[in-house]
A and B are shown apart, each in its own frame.
Chain A
Amino acid sequence: MSALTEEIAKGKDSIMAAWEKSATALKGPSPFPVRKGQGRFANPAAYHREEGMSDVLDWLCADEVEEIPASLGDICRIKAVQDDKPSQSLAFLFDLKNIIRSVVGSAATEAEYRALDEQIDALALHSFDYFVACRNQIAQLRVEEVSRGEKMLLRRLEKLENKEMNGENLA
């Protein structure tokens, strides 16, 4: 574990608190709902946001290369229905760079900071892919919903086509 990741792990609570504030700020894009009440179902978006952010910090501190946490996908999925531009929706990930710098001490080297930035950039790129996939899915949901509503109409058409093929009178 590098000096930087050790410090991140040690200051995780402070980083989380600052990151939470940045992610729930009402300025600019649609905010995440602020957490109120206890338990997952009192505020599922906040629950999954906290889970995802916590997993991201753990991922940054991991000794070995691990897959980007799936819970980051949950955050992207929530963000994708907030109708903001991807750049606005995912800006909170880049906030992490400054937040970590402000919380950790001075033991880390420039190279470690550069590696951290690269990791966060990788998170962001992954999140953009996920976000775009969610947006595409929303378009597809509309098509599929219409298609479920047209099933009977399509069967009627199919029946007419079969009649036509069999040379029956359609009048």
Chain B
Amino acid sequence: MAKLNKEEVLNFELGVADTPWMDTPTVFKEGMYCHAAKKKTLDVVGMPNTHDWSSSDEDWNLPEDWKEILLDGMKDRLEKYRSFRLFMDVCVRCGACADKCHFYLGSGDPKNMPVLRAELLRSVYRRYFTTSGKLFGKLAGARDLTEEVLHEWWYYFYQCTECRRCSAFCPYGIDQAEITIMGRELLNLIGLNTDWIAGPVSNCFMKGNHVGLEPQTIMGNVEFMMDDLEEATGVHCEPSFNRKGAEILFVVPSGDLYAEPGTFTFMGYILLLEHLGLDYTLSTYASEGGNFGFFTSNEMAKRLNSKMYAEAKRLGVKWILGGECGHMWRLVNQYMDTWNGPADFLEMPVSPITGTKFENAASTKMVHITEFTADLIYHNKIKLDPSRNDHLNVTFHDSCNTSRAMGLLEEPRYIVKHVCNNFHEMPEETIREKTLCCGSGAGLNAGENMELRMRGGYPRADAVRSVIERFGVNTLANICAIDRAAMPALMDYWVPGTRVTGVHELVGNALVLGDDDYRQLDLRLEEIPNAKQPPAPEPEPVAETAEGEASEGGSNA
């Protein structure tokens, strides 16, 4: 057989593209992007320059002056947001962020390196807003804003989940999520949103939640869930809706109101709150903790966020309790007070059960339910039987927003360790502030981009796999509605057989409602293996079998 030239065969590329990134064309690949936003959907909330277009077409039917609109928009934002201007200038391209992005780790596409994703915008900034860029163009890392550049922006700014893991490793603290946020905000100036984001925004604006659940649907769904709860626990719960004068307004992500496994988490919340006899109410108007406006523009996020405070004011509650949600808590913790605060009409949250003042929420007046429940457990105010969760071998996924934007690291773990006997952490470099994203946040949890989601979630799934291999973990707990919606698919693909659950589903299972609580079913109405059995009743004296009466056999036979 003829031998091949060794040098020739070994001369493979070293992972470096043939062309510089600016000259490497962006190819739209199926499964990597979402459908375009519909004009009528954007019109509901009065977005500018809406038009019909398709993300898979070459011609996006752009407004004639699209370039001026974008450059004017960029100028406005550079003047308005000091952080944006700083982040456009300050990066030294050290590459510390490059391999921290789950999308880069899952795909190897260099334009998914956070530094390069930011460079997509920076190159245009330099060309039009810096002297060096104006004079030296490409030599200074600047490039013209063209339709190809615009397409590239759209493709890659909707391949970022704004998880901010890269920011945790940036020596300058550049918040790459803010760059994506600005990129998306600019695209929205010319009607270029995705339908998966624009739809929930208009639904939320019109009906109070992302999927457009109307009040009667919410109440109907809750009724179903309460039926299941009664079947599992024997306790009938009737949470109130829109009740004026309640002490607490309870706001959950709407995913918990209609989709599994979020519905089981909702059942856990309600079982706990009803068991405590808390004076709380749900709202069918502020029926969404999440906020896809945040993935559209600052102004839209502010508008949608305001409903929670408005409803709290209308109902006259004292404070707000929030469910297990991710980006909801970044907004509550970092933005809400600036947007719509101060909420002076509310009071500093105080747990009516333990008396704990939640001083961390002194300004927003909003408490995360894991803070509330951890406090209950700490003060020994609820009785728990963690053995009911013994068939679950649990690990905990820190949601990006609650961990990096809120520092909510210990409370959920504290709860899980009290309601489960089997808990194992994932490797240190994949949890807490360094947590890996689910790959579906920031409005990317659509169906048509499933490949993108599977790529992005792969590093997280592999960390789960590692604890499956080492400890036999079979359950992934989390405190984010998007995690609960998106991770079942992620787990099914990469680590099949892994259950996804909210923390309060585990709480609901473990909660002992009274001395006679010998429930045999969990909140999914599945049998609890080795469930404790009620004590056998005192044997009654055996009556003698009457002559001629049918016998069951045995000793009487």
How far does the alpha carbon of A44 sit from the alpha carbon of B289 in the complex, in Å? Answer: 33
How many of chain A's residues have a CB under 8 angstroms from any CB in B? 51
Instruction: Determine whether B141 belongs to the interface, using a CB cutoff of 8 Å to chain A.
Output: no
Instruction: Determine whether B14 belongs to the interface, using a CB cutoff of 8 Å to chain A.
Output: yes
In the assembled complex, the CB of B231 is this many whole angstroms from the nearest CB of chain A, namely 13
**Using Cβ atoms and an 8 Å threshold, which residues of chain A touch B451?**
81-83, 138
> Do the beta carbons of A149 and B259 come within 8 Å of each other?
yes
How far does the alpha carbon of A142 sit from the alpha carbon of B492 in the complex, in Å? Answer: 11
In the assembled complex, the CB of A121 is this many whole angstroms from the nearest CB of chain B, namely 16
Q: Produce 1/0 per residue, B238-276, CB < 8 A to A.
A: 000000000000000000011111010000000000000
Within 8 Å by CB of A24, from B15, B106, B450, lies B15
**Using Cβ atoms and an 8 Å threshold, which residues of chain B touch A103?**
6
Instruction: Determine whether A10 belongs to the interface, using a CB cutoff of 8 Å to chain B.
Output: no
Of residues 59 to 93 in A, which have CB atoms within 8 Å of B's CB atoms? 77-78, 81-83
How far does the alpha carbon of A141 sit from the alpha carbon of B488 in the complex, in Å? Answer: 9
**Using Cβ atoms and an 8 Å threshold, which residues of chain B touch A155?**
224
Within 8 Å by CB of A22, from B12, B224, B455, B489, lies B12
Of residues 143 to 168 in A, which have CB atoms within 8 Å of B's CB atoms? 144-146, 148-149, 151-153, 155-156
Q: Produce 1/0 per residue, B433-476, CB < 8 A to A.
A: 00000000000000100110011001100110010000000000
> Do the beta carbons of B259 and A148 come within 8 Å of each other?
yes
In terms of DSSP, what is the predominant structure of the interface of chain B? helix
> Do the beta carbons of A42 and B99 come within 8 Å of each other?
yes
In the assembled complex, the CB of A71 is this many whole angstroms from the nearest CB of chain B, namely 12
Within 8 Å by CB of A110, from B1, B98, B429, B459, lies B1
> Do the beta carbons of B259 and A101 come within 8 Å of each other?
no
> Do the beta carbons of B454 and A31 come within 8 Å of each other?
no
How far does the alpha carbon of A32 sit from the alpha carbon of B425 in the complex, in Å? Answer: 28
Known contacts A145-B489, A151-B259, A18 near B10 by CB under 8 Å: yes
Partner-binding segment picked from B28-36, B66-74, B362-370, B377-385: B28-36
Within 8 Å by CB of B458, from A24, A44, A113, lies A44
> Do the beta carbons of A146 and B447 come within 8 Å of each other?
yes
How many of chain B's residues have a CB under 8 angstroms from any CB in A? 55
How far does the alpha carbon of A98 sit from the alpha carbon of B213 in the complex, in Å? Answer: 60
**Using Cβ atoms and an 8 Å threshold, which residues of chain B touch A37?**
99
> Do the beta carbons of A149 and B485 come within 8 Å of each other?
yes
Known contacts A27-B13, A33-B108, A99-B9, A148 near B430 by CB under 8 Å: no
Q: Produce 1/0 per residue, A90-109, CB < 8 A to B.
A: 00000000110111001000
How far does the alpha carbon of A113 sit from the alpha carbon of B110 in the complex, in Å? Answer: 38
In the assembled complex, the CB of B61 is this many whole angstroms from the nearest CB of chain A, namely 25
Nearest-neighbor residue (CB-CB) of A28 within chain B: B13
> Do the beta carbons of B466 and A40 come within 8 Å of each other?
yes
In the assembled complex, the CB of B463 is this many whole angstroms from the nearest CB of chain A, namely 6
How far does the alpha carbon of A78 sit from the alpha carbon of B106 in the complex, in Å? Answer: 8
**Using Cβ atoms and an 8 Å threshold, which residues of chain B touch A81?**
31, 106, 451, 454-455, 458, 493
15 A-B pairs besides A148-B260, A152-B257 with CB distance below 8 A are A31-B109, A33-B104, A36-B99, A41-B429, A45-B106, A81-B455, A82-B455, A98-B4, A101-B1, A138-B454, A141-B450, A144-B489, A145-B488, A149-B485, A155-B224
22 A-B residue pairings within 8 Å (CB atoms): A18-B10, A18-B12, A24-B13, A26-B110, A30-B29, A30-B109, A33-B106, A40-B462, A42-B429, A44-B105, A44-B459, A48-B462, A78-B106, A83-B29, A99-B10, A101-B1, A101-B3, A138-B493, A144-B489, A145-B485, A148-B485, A149-B485
